[in-house]
Chain A
Amino acid sequence: MAETRGVSIDVQDLRKSYNGVPVLTGVDLRIEAGEIMVIVGGSGEGKSVLLRHIAGLEHPDAGTIRLNGLDLQEYLHLPPEKKPFRLSMVFQSSALLNSLSVAENVSLRLKEHRTHSDHEIRRIVSTCLDQVELAGTEDKMPSDLSGGMRKRVAIARALAVEPQIILYDEPTADLDPILTEQIGQLVRQIQEARGTTQVVVAHNLTLAGRIGTHIAVLHEGRIVDYQPAQELARSTNPHTQEFLRATELRVESNHA
Chain B
Amino acid sequence: MPVLSDTVEQPAERVPRRRGVFGNVGKSILDVLQIMGEAVALFVATMRQIRLSRRTWGRVMVQMVRIGTDTLPLTFLVSLFVGMVLVIQTAEQLEQYTQEILGSVVGLAMTKELGPVIMAFLIAGRAGSAIAAEIGSMNVYDEINALKTMDIDPIRFLSVPRVIAMTVALPTLVLYADITGILGGAVVVALDPAVKISVRQYFDNLTQWVNFKDIVVGLIKGMAFGLIVSVVSCTFGFRTKGGAEGVATSTTAAVVWSFVLIIIFDYFIVRLAILF
- A residues with a Cβ closer than 8 A to B are 17, 20-22, 25-30, 52, 55-57, 80, 83, 87-89, 91-93, 95-98, 108-109, 111-113, 161, 216, 219-226, 237-239
Q: Which residue of B has the minimal Cβ distance to A239?
A: B6
- Which residues of chain B are within 8 angstroms of A237 by Cβ–Cβ distance? 4, 6
- Which residues of chain A are within 8 angstroms of B8 by Cβ–Cβ distance? 25, 219-222
- B residues with a Cβ closer than 8 A to A are 1-6, 8-9, 11, 14, 55, 138, 141-143, 145-146, 148-152, 157
Contact assessment for B150 and A28 in the assembled complex, using a CB-CB cutoff below 8 Å: no
Contact assessment for A224 and B145 in the assembled complex, using a CB-CB cutoff below 8 Å: no
Main secondary structure of the interface of A (DSSP, over half): mixed
Taken together as a complex, chains A and B put the C-alpha atoms of A55 and B143 apart, in Å, by 14
Contact assessment for B150 and A95 in the assembled complex, using a CB-CB cutoff below 8 Å: no
Taken together as a complex, chains A and B put the C-alpha atoms of A25 and B150 apart, in Å, by 29
**Which listed residue, B3, B6, B149, B151, touches A57 by the CB 8 Å rule?**
B149
18 contacting pairs across A/B (C-beta < 8 A): A26-B5, A28-B2, A30-B1, A30-B2, A88-B150, A91-B142, A91-B145, A95-B141, A95-B143, A108-B152, A109-B150, A112-B150, A112-B152, A225-B4, A226-B1, A226-B2, A238-B6, A239-B6
Contact assessment for B6 and A224 in the assembled complex, using a CB-CB cutoff below 8 Å: yes
Given contacts A20-B14, A95-B143, A238-B6, contact A161 B1 (CB under 8 A): no
Main secondary structure of the interface of B (DSSP, over half): loop
Q: How far is the CB of A135 from chain B (nearest CB, A)?
A: 23
- Which residues of chain B are within 8 angstroms of A221 by Cβ–Cβ distance? 8
Contact assessment for B151 and A80 in the assembled complex, using a CB-CB cutoff below 8 Å: yes
Taken together as a complex, chains A and B put the C-alpha atoms of A239 and B6 apart, in Å, by 9
**Which listed residue, A161, A216, A219, A220, touches B150 by the CB 8 Å rule?**
A161
Q: Which residue of B has the minimal Cβ distance to A110?
A: B150
Give the A-B contact count at a CB cut-off of 8 A.
84
**Which listed residue, A22, A83, A88, A97, touches B11 by the CB 8 Å rule?**
A22
- Which residues of chain A are within 8 angstroms of B149 by Cβ–Cβ distance? 55-57, 87-89
Q: How far is the CB of A84 from chain B (nearest CB, A)?
A: 13
Contact assessment for B152 and A222 in the assembled complex, using a CB-CB cutoff below 8 Å: no
Contact assessment for B146 and A95 in the assembled complex, using a CB-CB cutoff below 8 Å: yes
Contact assessment for B150 and A93 in the assembled complex, using a CB-CB cutoff below 8 Å: no
Taken together as a complex, chains A and B put the C-alpha atoms of A161 and B150 apart, in Å, by 9
Q: Which residue of A has the minimal Cβ distance to B8?
A: A220
Taken together as a complex, chains A and B put the C-alpha atoms of A112 and B160 apart, in Å, by 14
Given contacts A113-B151, A219-B8, A222-B8, contact A28 B146 (CB under 8 A): no
Q: How far is the CB of B139 from chain A (nearest CB, A)?
A: 11
